[in-house]
């Protein structure tokens, strides 16, 4: 697992967008796994800038979002369909047919979950999955206690998550109780993971995720087992990490310069 600590939220967001942009430039038909929440908003803003100012092309990109509330129609302001449209899709050149979110309003939920897994498979799998992390260590809506091998399914939201998300709703009773979410196994099948965290309220979850034992009580700890997981966090979210992490191991130029200096010494 690569851990990159950036000075602040803006720098974290710019690096996350750069990593995603590299994937898209290298593979124009890239399959992106996307996330909602306050954390990735800066990343989407930067990707939109890269599209508008530097021609980053999303015309062949396919996306799959992690999750959706059950019972909110796509036009509801707090639905994740609405969030993605407002904060990303309306500002880039992705064809609407390439966008996938789990449906929150279909009655045959079991079939919808099965179909979502199938759609990901048919698209060739996810190349890079963007992730936030809950204060309780959830990824997507895989709350503490979730099976680490789980697939897309319906989950009951944890009280802690309902409490945290109530800031977006008028009353806490308005927060949906259920969500349809990719499973932890679904997320782990992605070629690459990019997990972001910002702010001191995520510091504990990040410390356990990076340095703690792998446990279903903190679902994000499973990323320790992923072959290509990158965590980009700001200083505050890194505050409880015990080991030190270099500022930007993403850039290998320093290591290469070191090799060159060593070679120079010998000759
Ligand atoms: P946040 O949510 O980005 O709004 O903090 C992250 C999450 O709960 O996964």
Residues 138, 67: Cα–Cα separation, whole Å: 12
Residues 126, 189: Cα–Cα separation, whole Å: 8
Among the listed residues 62, 43, 46, the one whose alpha carbon sits nearest the alpha carbon of residue 54: 46
Tokens of 92: 């880039």
Least confident window among 109-118, 163-172, 223-232, 233-242: 163-172
pLDDT at residue 107 tops 80:
yes
The second-level CATH assignment, the architecture, of 2-266 is 3-Layer(aba) Sandwich (3.40)
pLDDT value of residue 245: 76
Among 16, 33, 37, 40, which residue has the most ligand 1 atoms within 8 Å of its CB, making it the best to mutate? Answer: 37
- The pLDDT tens digits for 37-87 are 999 999 999 999 999 999 999 999 999 999 999 999 999 999 999 999 999
The answer to whether 110 touches 118, Cβ cutoff 8 Å, is no
C-alpha distances in Å from residue 221, one per residue of 136, 149, 194, 214, 224:
11, 13, 14, 5, 6
Tokens of 247: 């500022």
Residues 128, 106: Cα–Cα separation, whole Å: 27
Name the pTM for this structure.
0.93
CA of 80 to the centre of ligand 1 (A): 12
3-state secondary structure of 163: helix
CA of 257 to the centre of ligand 1 (A): 38
CA of 225 to the centre of ligand 1 (A): 22
DSSP per-residue string spanning 225-265: G-TTEEEEEETTTTTT-SS---S-TT-THHHHHHHHHHHHH
- The pLDDT tens digits for 197-234 are 999 999 999 999 999 999 999 999 999 999 999 999 99
Nearest atom in ligand 1 to 196's CA: 3
pLDDT value of residue 244: 80
Q: How many CB atoms lie within 10 A of CB 208?
A: 18
Residues 223, 226: Cα–Cα separation, whole Å: 5
136: annotated active-site residue: yes
């Amino acid at each position: 697992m690569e851990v990159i600590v950036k000075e602040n939220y803006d720098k974290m967001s710019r690096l996350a967008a750069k990593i995603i942009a590299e994937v898209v430039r290298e593979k124009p038909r890239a399959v992106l796994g996307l996330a909602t929440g306050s954390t990735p908003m800066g990343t989407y803003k930067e990707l939109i800038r890269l599209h508008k100012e530097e021609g980053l092309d999303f015309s062949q990109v396919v996306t799959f979002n992690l999750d959706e509330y059950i019972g909110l129609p796509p036009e509801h302001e707090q639905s994740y369909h609405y969030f993605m449209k407002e904060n990303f899709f309306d500002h880039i050149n992705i064809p609407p047919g390439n966008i996938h979110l789990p449906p929150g309003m279909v009655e045959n939920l079991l079939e919808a979950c099965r179909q979502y897994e199938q759609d990901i498979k048919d698209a060739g799998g996810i190349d890079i999955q963007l992730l936030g992390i809950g204060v309780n260590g959830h990824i997507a809506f895989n709350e503490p206690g979730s099976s680490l091998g789980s697939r897309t399914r319906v989950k009951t939201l944890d009280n802690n998550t309902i409490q945290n998300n109530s800031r977006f709703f008028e009353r806490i009773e308005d927060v949906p109780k259920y969500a349809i979410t990719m499973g932890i196994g679904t997320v782990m099948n992605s070629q690459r993971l990019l997990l972001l965290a910002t702010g001191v309220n995520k510091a504990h979850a990040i410390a356990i995720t990076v340095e703690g034992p792998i446990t279903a009580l903190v679902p994000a700890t499973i990323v320790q087992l992923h072959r290509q997981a990158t965590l980009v966090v700001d200083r505050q979210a890194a505050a409880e990490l015990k080991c030190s992490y270099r500022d930007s191991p993403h850039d290998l130029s320093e290591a290469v310069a070191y090799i060159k200096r060593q070679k120079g010494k010998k000759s």
